[in-house]
Structure 1
Amino acid sequence: MKLLQDFLLSLNIPLPQAQLFVTIAGLLLFLLIAWLCGCIFRHAISPAILKIVARTHAVWDDYVFNTCVLNSLSHVVPGVVFFILLPIVFENGTADRYPYFHELFVRGTHIYITVTVVRLFCVFLTNVGRLTSEEEGYNGKHYLIGLTQFLKLAVIIIGVIAGASYGFGRSPLSLIVSLGAVATVFAFIFKDTLLGLISGIQLSANKMIKPGDWITMPKYDVNGIVEEVSLVTVKIRNFDNTISTLPPYTLISDSFRNWKGMADGGGRRVKRAIYVDINSVRPAASVDVKRWKEACLLDDSFNPTDTTNLTAFRHFIEHYLMRHPEVNTGRWLMARQLDPTPHGLPVEVYFYFTEREFVRYEHLAADCMEHFIAMMPEFGLRAYQAPTGYDFTQIN
C-alpha cells in the first residue's frame, strides 16, 4: 500500500487524494482476495473433505461435515480473511482522515462475520438434530433434539446482541442492561413460549417421553404415538390418524400415561372382572369336583375339602391361564374375589399376555373372558345381569 501511495505522490497527486485512492484500491483488492479464498474453500477444500467423510464408516460425520455445513463455513472464510487484511488498508493514515469510512468497514465486517458464524452454528445444530431423529443408533438420545433447539435459540440471541453491539458501537453488556425493561415486557408477552421452552428441556433431559412412545391423556382426548418432541410442541398421532399438538408444559403440569414400560416389559396386563350372581354360589360336592377333574377343568392339586363352586371356578381360570401359550406365567396371574356390589360378586381376572400389539391383544383378552363366561354354567354359576325387556316378557 505504501509503495502505491509513494508512486501516486511522485505523479504530483495531492496526499489526500492519493490516500483515498490507495484505500479504495486496497479495499477492492482485499475483497477480491477474500472472495477467491471463499471460492477455493467451496470448490477445492470442501469436495476433498466430503470425499474423506464418504470413505469413513462412521455415521455422525455425514451430518457434521455435510454439504450444508461446509457451504456455511465457506461464507465465514471471506469475512475472516477480509478482517485480517483490513488493517493493512488503513495503515497509511486514512483511518484518521476518514474515521467514518474506517468505522463503516470495521463494523460491517464484524456484523458479516457474526451473521455467517450464527448461520454456521444453526446449520450444524440442525444436522445434529437430524442425526438424532433419523439414525437408528442415536434414537435413544432424543433429548438432543430439544437441546439443539435450545442452543440454536441461544446462538441466535447471542448473535443478535453481538450484531447490535457492533452496529451501535456499544458493549454487549451495556446493551443488555438498556434492554432490561424491554426484556421484561417481552417475557410477559411470550410467557407461554418461555414456559414451553423450559418444559421442553425438562421433558428431554428427564427422558419422560420420546418419539415412538405410546401416551394417553384423557383430559385432552390424546391416545396415540408421539411423533415429535421439540422445545415448544409435542406432536402425537392418535390411533384415528388425527394429529394432536400439545405445548410441553401441559405434559409437566398435567398427568399423562406413558405405555413404554408395558412395551419394554414382559407383556401387557389384562385386568377384567366377571360379575357373579351371589345366589348361584353353593358348596361343591365331591361328585362335582370329580367330574370337573375328569373334564380337565381342574388339576389334581385342587383340594375339594369344604370348597364352593366359585372357588373351583377361580381355580379353573388360573389353571386355564397357566396352560395358555400366550400368557406370561412369569408375571402375576390370579383370579381374585373383590368386595360384593349391588351388581353381584366381582371375580377379577389378573394376568399378562406376552402379546403387546393392540388388536391381537384385545382379541386374545376377549377370547379368554368369553370362554370363562361360557364355562360358568359348568360350575353352576350365573353371571349377574340387570333385567332387560326380554326378561320381563318371560314373567308370564
Structure 2
Amino acid sequence: MQQQGPVYEWSRKFYNLLIHEGIPEGLSVQLNLVLNLIVLAVVVFLLDFIFKKVVIQAFAIFSTKTKTTFDDFLVQSNFPKYIAHIVPLIFIIRMIPTVFSDFPGWGNFSMKIVDIYMTILAVWIFRSFLRSLKNFLRTKEAYKDKPLDSFVQVFLIFAWIIASIYLFTVLTEKDPIAFLTALGAASAVILLIFKDSILGFVASIQVAANDMVRIGDWITVEKYGADGDVMEINLATVKVRNFDNTITTIPTYALISDSFRNWRGMQDSGGRRIKRALYIAVSSIRYLTEEEVEDLKKIQLLASYLEHRQTDITKYNTENNADKSILLNGRNQTNMGVFRKYIDTYVKNHPAINKDMTMMVRHLPPTPQGIPLEIYVFSSDKRWVNYEHIMADIFDHIMAAVPYFDLEVYESPSSKDMKRLSQSSASIQNQ
C-alpha cells in the first residue's frame, strides 16, 4: 500500500528521523504508526469539535430566520450534530491508507471499522430526520391524531435491515445474497422472535388505513381494563391514559384481533346518549277517575294534552254507551300513561337535550322488579362531568314527580321494612 504525495511524505518524517538516529527499521515503523495515529486522533477530534460548533450554529441561525418549524425540530433531534460528524469521517477515510501504508492488514481492518461507524451514522441521521418529521407533522391538524410513531418505527426497521445486510457484506466480504439466503433458512426462527413486531406492523397499517383509532380517541377495551384517552400508538403498543390517571398498555395487534369500543362517534355527533330506566311497581298502576284527571290538569306540561285527550275519550265513551260506573269499561287514562307523557314532554322541553336526535320514553318488558320506564334521549353537552349533571338533573326531577301520579318506584325491602313488618305482625298477634 505505497502512497505518494505531501501527506505521505509528512507521515514518514518521524520514521526518517528514527532511522537517522539509528533505531531499527521494524521499531521505527511501529513508532511511526503510533505517532501518526496520535496525530490523526487529535486532528479528527479538532475537526469534529470545530465542525460541530459551526454546523450547529449555522442551523440555529437558519432556523430563526425561517417561518417553518421543521428546522427547529431538526436541531432538537441532534440532526446538525450527526451531520457534523461526516467531515471528520471523510478525513479518516482519506488518511487511513496513508497512516497504515506499512500495515495493509491493519489498514483493511480499520476501513471495516470505519464502514461500520459510517453505516451506523447514516442510520442515526435517518432516524433523526424521521423523528423531526414526525414532530413537525404533529403540529399539523391533519396529522395530530395519526399513528406516526408506528410508521417511523417501520421505516427504522427497514433502515436497520438494509444496514445489517451492508455490514454483513463488509465484515464477511461475501455477496449479500448469501446473507439473504441465510435469513430465508432461518425464517421460522425470525418469525418467532419478531412475531410481535410483525403483528404490530400489520396492525398499525390496518389501524391507520381503516381509521380505527386516533391519538386522543376515548376507547374502552374491557379485556385489558382500559378506559380512557389514547396517548400513543406505536409499532408494538398502544398507551391509554385511563380516567383514574393510570396508564394501560395494549398490544397494537389487539385492536384488530379483539373487540373494543371507540367513543369518537359519540364525540363527533350532536349529543351523548342518556339511556336509563325507572322501575315502577306494577301494583301502583291503575286507571284515573275524571276527578283525578281534572286535578292533574294543574300540571302545566300536561294541561293541553289532558284536555284534548279527555275530550276524545269522553266522546268515544258517550258514542259507545260505556258504563262508567266501572272504570274498566270504555276508554280510560292510566296514571302510568299520563306519567309517561309527562316525562316525554319534560325531556322534549329540557334545554340540555338535543332536539334533533332521538327522544323517546318507552316501556320495557316487565321484570320481577316492576315495569322499566326507559328514557332514551341525547344530551347536547358531551363533556363527561356536564353529561352526568344533566342526567342526574333529569332523574332527580322524574323521581320527585312520581308521587304526584300516585305511582311507586320499586325498591328491594330494606332492613327497616322487614323490622316494620315484623312489628306489625307482632302487634296483630297481640291483639
TM-score (norm 2): 0.76
**Structure 2 residue aligned with 1:354:** 380
**Structure 2 residue aligned with 1:59:** 69
**Structure 2 residue aligned with 1:73:** 83
CA distance in 2 between counterparts of 1:355 and 1:313 reads 26
Report the CA distance between 1:233 and its aligned residue.
1.6
**Structure 2 residue aligned with 1:129:** 134
Say if 2:345 is the partner of 1:319: yes
CA distance in 2 between counterparts of 1:270 and 1:215 reads 18
Give SS of 2:78's match. helix
Give SS of 1:297's match. helix
- One-letter code of the match for 1:245? T
Q: Among residues 372, 385, 393, which one is paired with 2:398 in the alignment?
A: 372
CA distance in 2 between counterparts of 1:277 and 1:141 reads 49
Q: Among residues 252, 258, 261, which one is paired with 2:262 in the alignment?
A: 258
Give SS of 2:382's match. coil
Deviations 1:278-329 (A, max 9, x none): 3333334454444334321326256424443222212211211122222222
Report the CA distance between 1:253 and its aligned residue.
1.4
Report the CA distance between 1:147 and its aligned residue.
0.6
Report the CA distance between 1:86 and its aligned residue.
6.6
Conserved in 2, the CA contact under 8 Å of 1:337 and 1:347?
A: yes
CA distance in 2 between counterparts of 1:387 and 1:101 reads 92
Conserved in 2, the CA contact under 8 Å of 1:132 and 1:142?
A: no
Residues 380-395 of structure 1 mapped to structure 2, 5 A cutoff: 380-392=406-418, 393-394=420-421
- One-letter code of the match for 2:113? G
Conserved in 2, the CA contact under 8 Å of 1:267 and 1:355?
A: yes
Conserved in 2, the CA contact under 8 Å of 1:226 and 1:237?
A: yes
Q: Among residues 135, 144, 148, which one is paired with 1:144 in the alignment?
A: 148
- One-letter code of the match for 2:120? V
CA distance in 2 between counterparts of 1:207 and 1:64 reads 29
**Structure 2 residue aligned with 1:103:** 108
Conserved in 2, the CA contact under 8 Å of 1:150 and 1:231?
A: yes
Q: Among residues 163, 176, 199, which one is paired with 2:167 in the alignment?
A: 163
Q: Which runs of 5+ in 2 are unaligned?
A: 20-24, 314-332, 426-431
Question: CA distance change for structure 1 residues 363 and 67 in 2, over 3 Å: closer, same or farther?
Answer: closer
CA distance in 2 between counterparts of 1:70 and 1:6 reads 35
Residues 86-235 of structure 1 mapped to structure 2, 5 A cutoff: 100-101=105-106, 103-132=108-137, 135=139, 137=141, 140-235=144-239
Q: Which runs of 5+ in 1 are unaligned?
A: none
Question: CA distance change for structure 1 residues 381 and 141 in 2, over 3 Å: closer, same or farther?
Answer: closer
CA distance in 2 between counterparts of 1:257 and 1:335 reads 26
Residues 112-121 or 98-107, more deviating: 98-107
- Larger of the two Rg values belongs to structure: 2
Conserved in 2, the CA contact under 8 Å of 1:266 and 1:328?
A: yes
Conserved in 2, the CA contact under 8 Å of 1:118 and 1:155?
A: yes
Give SS of 1:294's match. coil
Conserved in 2, the CA contact under 8 Å of 1:213 and 1:225?
A: yes
Conserved in 2, the CA contact under 8 Å of 1:328 and 1:353?
A: yes
Q: Among residues 265, 277, 282, which one is paired with 1:278 in the alignment?
A: 282
CA distance in 2 between counterparts of 1:72 and 1:205 reads 34
CA distance in 2 between counterparts of 1:383 and 1:3 reads 104
Q: Among residues 49, 53, 60, which one is paired with 1:50 in the alignment?
A: 60
Conserved in 2, the CA contact under 8 Å of 1:131 and 1:138?
A: no
CA distance in 2 between counterparts of 1:182 and 1:349 reads 61
CA distance in 2 between counterparts of 1:189 and 1:116 reads 26
Report the CA distance between 1:118 and its aligned residue.
0.7
- One-letter code of the match for 2:62? I
CA distance in 2 between counterparts of 1:366 and 1:258 reads 24
Conserved in 1, the CA contact under 8 Å of 2:361 and 2:376?
A: yes
Deviations 1:185-210 (A, max 9, x none): 13213423432343234334433223
